[in-house]
Structure 1
Amino acid sequence: MMKFSALGFGVSGAHGTPLVPASETLALIKAAVEGGVRMFDTAPSYGAGEAERRLGLALKALDRSDLVVCTKAGLTSHGLAGRRRDLSPDGVEASVRTSLGRLGVEGVDILFLHGAAPHELDAALLARLRALKQAGAYKMLGAAGRGPALDWALDAGWFETVMAPVHPFLDSVETAALDRAAQAGLPIMAIETAGDAPPRWRAPRSLADLYPLAKRVRAKGAGRGRIAVPDGLKLALGRPGVVSALFTTTRRTHLNSNLESIRLS
């Protein structure tokens, strides 16, 4: 049985960009481990693979046997805003092999499919995924999705865990899907626990602060609400089925606040 830590660190966002030096990303990952975090999530779409590469560098100096490492397949990125979606069997296998190379590992603990639609979840993909698992490329198959994608994943019956938004502003359809996952015994990785509204505007104090500012500018709509990240993490972990709540940050003070709120160490 895989052991999950209550908090997971997302090597994502600004950690896939030049706004944050790789040395700072590695230092935060090390500090997270020292604070009790054992789950690390990333994806090839975060900075066109740069986030995976940085996590791989950090793993070289850590006890890999004590960690849960997750990545994703189905979506890649290039340039500032380019995205390419490919959930074909060949596309998924190529993505996984490239991710393992960046991470410097023979296999990850969890491979999440990024928002798969029903027509993409076909027999050929399932056969390829089973072959990759048999070859040791991953241990557990997960579905990362929101809205209808979460229900589609549950309908498919392929998945052993799910990653989805968990926050106080979800509607009844979203909460019903989470309840369904919990009742099926699937461990839930909670994301976006502070809510779906953009963070309130703050004058940038570092290059890294430009990333959330850009996200705020690109955001479609005002969202439904937002609470403090430590509060969101605690609330998410109180929901049935949630085994880990994920967050990302570029600041040591924020990392410490999140760790203190859950008291992992």
Structure 2
Amino acid sequence: MALISVGEDTWAIEHEGCEKLYREIMEQFTLRSQELKTSVEYARISSSIRFRMKQFSSEVFQLKDKIMEASLSRSITQQEAERRSRLVEVLKSKERQLQELFNERKHSALVGGRAARPFADMGVSGWRDDEDEENAIGGSDLPSSEYSINEIRQQQQAVVRVQDEGLDVLSKVISRQKELAKVIGNEVDVQNDIIDDLTENMENTDSRIRRETKQIGTIVQKDKTWMYWMIIILLFITIVVVGVV
């Protein structure tokens, strides 16, 4: 969703869009909680959540910026500006809530890991390694550092798969566009041929019209000469008759 201006006050619509985006992110958190943290689907949902959280932060910032612009241009009242500012503060609170929810696992790991270890756990070489800490705390089969690395790798693999799927879709779209361009090109060629035929027919028709017009002019001219001769003959006959009488 993009926050755009179309020459009118769309702040309320954009605020509702932010609220909708927040609800979508919370739904994704619910879906992620149903997946194993080591699964590919968990990594994919986490990547999607991270992207939507960045989008949410950007849109909240734009809403706040638009309040300042509207206040300076006096397109809204001071009371309306204060009301919108309170709504933005609520959104910023939700943004912090999302960030804390996203980082909840990391904070839990810190509280249950090194941060909770007493200084008495130091050995000859300093702090004990991650495997000893995890085994001492909860008997985990997987060290926290290795778990984080594996999770990062899975997230990267999920992102790569999503990008590959996107590239496949893009490739198919480009192929369809190429085929469509070929069809359009063929249609243009056909239309050009039709236009050429029409042009040639128009030229032939114009030539015939000019020829017929010329013939009609000649016939009309001949018709006028014939009438002149008829008048002359009639006058001659009249003169003869008068003379004889």
Q: TM-score under structure 1 normalisation? A: 0.20
More helix by share: 2
The structure with the greater share of residues assigned to strand is 1
Q: With a CA cutoff of 8 Å and minimum separation of 6, indicate the structure with the bigger relative contact order.
A: 1
Larger Rg: 2
